[in-house]
Amino acid sequence: MNQDFLLDTPIARQLYNDVAADLPVIDYHSHLQQGEIASRRKFRNIAELWLGGDHYKWRLMRSAGVTEDFITGKQSDEDKFRAFCKVLSLAAGNPIYHWSHLELRRLFGIDLLINEANASKIWDQANAKLADMDTWAFLEQAKVEVACTTDDPADDLAQHAEIAASALKTRVLPAYRPDKAMRVNAPGFVDYLAHLSSVSGVKISSFESLIAALANRVEFFHARGARISDHAVDIALPAVKPSAAQLEALFAKRIGGQELNDAELGQYIRGLLEGVGRVYAKFNWAMCLHIGAQRNNNSRMMGRLGADTGYDSISDMSCSAGLASLLDALDSDDQLPKTMLFCLNPGMNEVLSTLIGCYQDGSVAGKIQYGPAWWFNDHKDGNLQQIQTLGNHGVLGTSVGMVTDSRSFASYPRHDYFRRLLCRQLGQWVEAGEYPADIDALSQIVRGVSYENAKRYFGL
């Protein structure tokens, strides 16, 4: 894993080393905690940094036969770290193998293979480095120019205000994630509405007033630097637009104590996305739709550990007709915001990469974006497939590039990983005679996809 890692042609090496390597990072979608940035959190050791809350690594360890007490249980941090090191060498082909070694080299300057034999050396050397590092150090070392967190509409963003007033070089901005308003069947939904009503000053007694309250919070977030919303779309949206009366009836049904069935839930989410989509268009925001996760499959472990602990998977739901209907309804009134479509199912790559072309209007380069390889697709083949698919059906040079989508402050070498793969693919096209060795044009693509397009697209 040297300077030429993944760069298999002279053009790829030239593009990476001369153009991509030193560009700043725009991380427009992460799950970093604003409080950990505001407080300049320090990590007690590499196990807490690498394994604390990282469901990617947890899944790998479970699959390799590590018992839960060495993952989320009561074993010591050092024993958990040793258990991870012991099994990582079995994971040939898994991106965690590449990511972990990149992190070890980029963050700590440690050029050792991660295995059982080296576990003690890595533990000692990494922990010595960590003693002088905090969350700010990770952001600044990785040249993160902008990092967007994911924040509930009812959040007061007080810690964001602290960060903005601090000396941190990285701009940390909120991003709007109304999960609690979308999860209408959740046990705490009605209580959440009362809280949202209180902070927005809008009495929420109807679906229409819910949208008004969410719009109020968009304005609040916008004044504090937010330019991006994010929505998890885990259920198929209906192809037929629900009427205002239907949406009010669904809202009343849930407020009355009844849960919505799957068809009704799809209608509710479709109505909410259309309602807030018009608000996003008004403020020139980007609407990010993360589609196709099948969450919390293991009910036993859900009860034991809770959500986001490594028991999600890819859904095979059909989503194209409902997505097209939603985008078309907004576009028909000229209120379609900039929109990014992420899909967890790689079988939908061509579907989404062709759908985005139906709603481009020339107002913004790549107004409707085919999102980067996400979650289970964020590996070498998945990234290359995403680049190739967008190249086949769209304009690769307008892509806004990669995100970490991570809770870990150690995850920023994933941007380096993506940039290497981008340069690799461009170099292979040149070698095959499918694109000229026009360094100026190739450099423009690399700079744009790696950094400049995101900065321009999101207005950062």
Is 242 in a helix, a strand, or coil? coil
Which 8-state DSSP code applies to residue 260?
Answer: P
Residue type, 195: H
Query: What pLDDT score was predicted for residue 1?
Result: 85
Is 233 in a helix, a strand, or coil? strand
pLDDT band at 445 (very low <50, low <70, confident <90, very high): very high
pTM of the model: 0.97
Per the structure, the count of domains in the chain is 1
Can you read off the two tokens belonging to residue 385?
């497939």
For 106, half-sphere exposure in the C-beta direction (CA atoms, 13 angstrom radius) is 26
Residue with tokens 């380069």: 365
Can you read off the two tokens belonging to residue 95?
């991106």
- Examine the pLDDT at 149 and tell me if it is beyond 90: yes
Q: State the distance between the two ends of the chain, measured CA to CA, in whole angstroms.
A: 33
- Examine the pLDDT at 12 and tell me if it is beyond 90: yes
Q: Work out whether strand 293-294 and strand 313-314 pair parallel, antiparallel, or are unpaired.
A: antiparallel
Percentage with pLDDT > 90 across the chain: 99
Burial class of residue 384, CB neighbours in 10 A (0-12, 13-18, 19+): middle
Percentage with pLDDT > 70 across the chain: 100
The pLDDT of 328-349, averaged and rounded, is: 96
In a domain, 187, yes or no: no
> Length of the chain, please?
460
Residue type, 83: A
Query: What pLDDT score was predicted for residue 22?
Result: 97
User: How do residues 76-100 score in pLDDT, each as one tens digit?
Assistant: 999 999 999 999 999 999 999 999 9
Query: What pLDDT score was predicted for residue 43?
Result: 97
In a domain, 406, yes or no: no
The pLDDT of 318-339, averaged and rounded, is: 96
Residue with tokens 């480095």: 129
Query: What pLDDT score was predicted for residue 82?
Result: 98
Q: What share of the chain is helix, strand, coil (3-state, %, to 5)?
A: 55, 10, 40
In a domain, 73, yes or no: yes
Q: Compute the distance between CA of residue 30 and CA of residue 36 in angstroms, rounded to an integer.
A: 13
Spatial strand order of the sheet with 144-148 comes to 25-27, 144-148, 171-173
Is 26 in a helix, a strand, or coil? strand
In a domain, 459, yes or no: no
In a domain, 373, yes or no: no
Q: Compute the distance between CA of residue 136 and CA of residue 250 in angstroms, rounded to an integer.
A: 45
Range of the domain at 123: 44-132
What lies within 8 Å, CB to CB, of 123 at 6+ separation is 45, 46, 78, 81, 82
Q: Under a CB-based contact definition with an 8 Å cutoff, are residues 64 and 90 in contact?
A: yes
CATH of the domain at 124: 1.10.2020.10
At CA 158, angle to CA 157 and CA 160, rounded to 5? 65
Backbone angles phi, psi at 287, to 5 degrees: -105, 115
Which 8-state DSSP code applies to residue 356?
Answer: G
User: How do residues 57-66 score in pLDDT, each as one tens digit?
Assistant: 999 999 999 9
In a domain, 192, yes or no: no
Give the burial string for 167-176 (b: 16+ CB within 10 Å, else e). Answer: ebebbbbbbb
Residue type, 452: E
In a domain, 379, yes or no: no
The pLDDT of 347-366, averaged and rounded, is: 96
User: How do residues 224-240 score in pLDDT, each as one tens digit?
Assistant: 999 999 999 999 999 99
Nearest to 146 by CA among 418, 457, 375, 367: 457
Residue type, 73: G
pLDDT band at 142 (very low <50, low <70, confident <90, very high): very high
User: How do residues 191-214 score in pLDDT, each as one tens digit?
Assistant: 999 999 999 999 999 999 999 999
Nearest to 405 by CA among 368, 372, 382: 372
The pLDDT of 137-144, averaged and rounded, is: 97
Query: What pLDDT score was predicted for residue 318?
Result: 87
Backbone angles phi, psi at 391, to 5 degrees: -60, -40
User: How do residues 156-193 score in pLDDT, each as one tens digit?
Assistant: 999 999 999 999 999 999 999 999 999 999 999 999 99
SS3 track for 55-92: HHHHHHHHHCCCCHHHCCCCCCHHHHHHHHHHHHCCCC
In a domain, 62, yes or no: yes
Q: Under a CB-based contact definition with an 8 Å cutoff, are residues 341 and 356 in contact?
A: yes
